[in-house]
Each structure stands twice: as C-alpha cells, then as structure tokens.
Structure 1
C-alpha cells in the first residue's frame, strides 16, 4: 500500500472502520474480541469508534484474533503505521504561525515527565539565551516575534522539578556560530549553569568520539510514548511503541559517549574562553 506524506496521521477513521467491519465479519462481539486480545471491552470500543489511536501491537493482536485474510492484514497494518506517523511540513507550520508551534510544544512538555533531546547542529530553545533564540529564527520569512516569546516562555518548565530533562548535544551544536563569539560564550555559560539543576542532565559528545551509529537528525523523545524528528523540511512524529523504543536505544548509545558534570563544565569553560579570546 503506497501513500503520500500528507496522508500520514490521517488514516485513523479508516482504520477504525476496517477493524469494526472485520470483527462483525468474524461474528464476534466486542467482549469476545477483547477477551481474545487480552484487552478491555471499552478499549476495543474506543478503537473501533476512532476515539483511541491503536498501536501497531494492538492492531496485530486484533488481526490475529480475527484470523483476518492476508490482504486485509496488510491493509490494516499499513493504515495503523500511517495513523501512528505524522508529517508536519515546515511551510504548513509557518502558515499556521510559528507561535502556534510553540504552544503545541508547551503542551507536550506539560504532559510529559521525562524528555530526552538529541541536538545535532543547534541548541534547543529551552536551553538558549534570548540572543541565540532570535538568531536561530532570523532566516525565517515569517514574523518570528511570537515564536521568540513562546520559546523563552517555555523555558519556565525547566524549573519544574517534577519533570526530568536529558539533553545530549554534539560539540558542533554547542560551537556552531549561530551568534557572535561573545554571545556564543554567554550561551555556553548558560549551558554550564543549567547543568547544576537537579532535574536537568546535559551531556556533550566531543568531536572525535566514536558513536554506535552516525546520527542523521535531531530528535526529541517524550517519555516512552512519542518521538519527534527534525529535518530541514519539517518534522516527523512517531507514536508507535516499537519506533519509540528504537530511538530510546539510539539515545542511550549516544549517552555513553557524552561528557557530563565537571567534565562537561570544564570543556564548556575551555570553549567559552576560546570565544572570548
């Protein structure tokens, strides 16, 4: 089954309808299907009515229980993959307003307990100084005033000790000259300062470190439920549990290569001094 990027995340109603039809064809009630899948009847009902987005594992369990024919298994699996994957085009995000995007991110951060950020080439807005935030958006053709304000407002979540943050940055992300050398030194000082907060863990992977794989994109993991992957054209959102686990494993591999604590702060001080020189 082929599909366009614009279809991603929009197949939920079609999937719900197909699963409901397959159950009825099999002559099973919601209760009997739920028992076969080790699910609650209410969950089956929510899936079939489109109120709950089923994971690929849920869909596979339902299809096995229904003994669905191979062609319908393939169709339902493809729809489930599409429902759990969403593409957000950068042009569309700009059309809606970059400030709206900041509100969405704020909502994600409010609903998550542990957030993990892998930063390949730039520093995220949560860690950025105001000057860095403004410079990072300077290339945008859209009005960025609300986005700048939104990024800075979101930083308050860092001081919520009920939440845990882990930031992994490459040396390139820390040292890339997004701002002037003096402003970049201030940005490094901010990273060092934030690394003392009890709920924040900041690590840097120095150039030359041997990593378990070659990173291709920046990504963020929210708890163990959602991953966003940043590209130059937009962002990809993955909700399937197996996809999330893949990125958690990748993140853990990079974590083993990073400098933390006093080693991190010593390296930042060295780079900051070089900028000021």
Structure 2
C-alpha cells in the first residue's frame, strides 16, 4: 500500500529521527555507521533528515549495523506502513547500477549467520564460473565487466566470514544450458568444488522427486530477519516475521527432499559426466 504525500513526508521524518537517535545511542558518528553498513555518509544524512526514505534492504543494513534488537526494530519498521514489504523493479535496479546491487548483497551475506538460497531455475552468482556469470548477464544493458568482477569477488564470502550457506538447486537449475556443453561441464565442476567448502551445504533436488509444493520462484532467506524473492521484472523483499517465516518453512521443506554430500556430487557428475 502506498502512502499519501503528507503521510510519506511525516513517516520519512519520524523514521529519520528514530534512526538518528539509535545511532547516537550506539555512540556512532555518521561516518562510522557508514563504514559499518557500506553506505555513503551523505545517504545516511539524507535518511536521518527525512530527505530520503530508505529501501527495506537499506533499512536492514542500518538496523543490523546498529545491532538493533527485534524488540527495538518493531517500532522503527512501524514508522513507515510499507516498510515490511518492498518492490524493486528491474529497471530501477539497472538505473542504480548493477554494481550497487552487488554491494547490497555483499552486506547481507557478511552480516548474516545463516543464509539459504532456493534456486529452481539457474545457478546463483556465488556458485558460478566467470563464463556462466557473464552469460547470465547478456540481457543487462551496457558493459557488465565490472559487475562480473564484483560477483567473482563476492564468492570469497563462502570461505571467509561468519555466515554459513545452504544452497538448494533443482536439477533444472543445474542443467539449464546458458553455455555450450564444455562451459556447462566447467560449471558443474565448480558446483562439486564449492560443495566441499566447510561452511557450504549444497543440495540438489532431482527431477522425479515428489514435492508437495511446486518451485515457483528463486528466493533467499537471511537468518530470520529478511527474505528476498526474484521474478522476471524485479525483486520483492520481506521483513514481516510471518512472511519471512513462510519462506523459511518452504526452504526447510525443499531441504528435506534434496541430496547432499557425496550423493549430490555423484548426481551432478552423472548429469555432465565430470
């Protein structure tokens, strides 16, 4: 639901004041908070003065960097009625720049303790070879070289940092050919390699597995605080506990039907003879 202009201005100002009070209560300057959440100091200033309403992901970055408890976060989110659900259109993401999106994802991945990725259609960038990443961006406007480089750099989070990762891929996601056979074989070998990392659980759901719910969308859950859902035309983000809980329950259900460890690696090899 959209806010009316006067409500929007009031909500923006109240939210900014509350965030400024939380920052001061944490003993942080705007500059230190900016470093903590990988956001520009000028952007934080605009949010605190009500000149800019933060996106849900931005708000999550700020609350996480401020180490705000769930009890404290509730009133903050209530400052804006639409704060618990957010839509970001694909064109808006392109306008901001694909590199900006990579900064957001990097923060989410490094600030979570557990992240779960349900991948029914394609391999995600954290698991992809450079060739696969570039091929997946052919529909994006402009030169994507910088985005490819940032996606590759982000993969280090699988080896460093506090977060543990679980990836669930359907057979279709693993086998969907966006590269020639040799490129897809390299991508399969990459999945096998990543599946051996200490903080990674990689599961595959073969065709023929009996599932009570169809795999409709790619989605990611970060702890119990945030869920993001991707569709062709953009991305939805949820922070409402009931919504996040629903996606966590779906993830757990799909996880029960996945093959892990040696079984997953053997199945991937059988699909590509690698």
Q: Is the radius of gyration larger for structure 1 or structure 2?
A: 1
* Aligned-partner Cα distance in 1 for 2:192–2:157: 18
After TM superposition, the structure 1 stretch with the greater mean CA deviation from structure 2, 157-166 or 110-119, is 157-166
CA root-mean-square deviation: 3.2
What is aligned with 1:112?
112
* Aligned-partner Cα distance in 1 for 2:158–2:8: 35
Displacement of 1:190 after TM fit?
1.0
Displacement of 1:158 after TM fit?
0.5
* Aligned-partner Cα distance in 2 for 1:181–1:267: 17
Consecutive aligned runs of 4 or more in structure 1 exceeding 4 Å deviation: 10-13, 15-18, 49-55, 76-79
Displacement of 1:184 after TM fit?
0.4
* Aligned-partner Cα distance in 2 for 1:11–1:119: 36
Q: Is the 8 A contact 1:164 1:200 kept in 2?
A: yes
What is aligned with 2:223?
223
* Aligned-partner Cα distance in 1 for 2:249–2:9: 28
Q: Is the 8 A contact 2:115 2:223 kept in 1?
A: yes
* Aligned-partner Cα distance in 2 for 1:11–1:235: 22
> Where does structure 2 lack aligned partners over 5 or more consecutive residues?
16-24, 26-48, 51-61
Q: Is the 8 A contact 2:110 2:161 kept in 1?
A: no
Superimposed CA distance per residue, residues 84-143 of structure 1 (whole angstroms, 9 cap, x where no aligned partner):
111111101111111111111111111111110000111000000011011000121232
> Where does structure 1 lack aligned partners over 5 or more consecutive residues?
19-41, 43-48, 60-75
What is aligned with 2:131?
131
Q: Is the 8 A contact 2:111 2:163 kept in 1?
A: no
- TM-score of the superposed pair, with normalisation by structure 1: 0.73
Displacement of 1:231 after TM fit?
0.7
Could you say if the C-alpha distance between residues 151 and 11 of structure 1 is closer, same or farther in structure 2, counting changes exceeding 3 Å? farther
* Alignment coverage as a number of residue pairs: 226
What is aligned with 2:232?
232
Give yes or no for the alignment of 1:173 onto 2:173. yes
After TM superposition, the structure 1 stretch with the greater mean CA deviation from structure 2, 127-136 or 102-111, is 102-111
Partner-residue secondary structure (3-state), 2:236: strand
- TM-score of the superposed pair, with normalisation by structure 2: 0.73
Give yes or no for the alignment of 1:3 onto 2:29. no
What is aligned with 2:58?
none
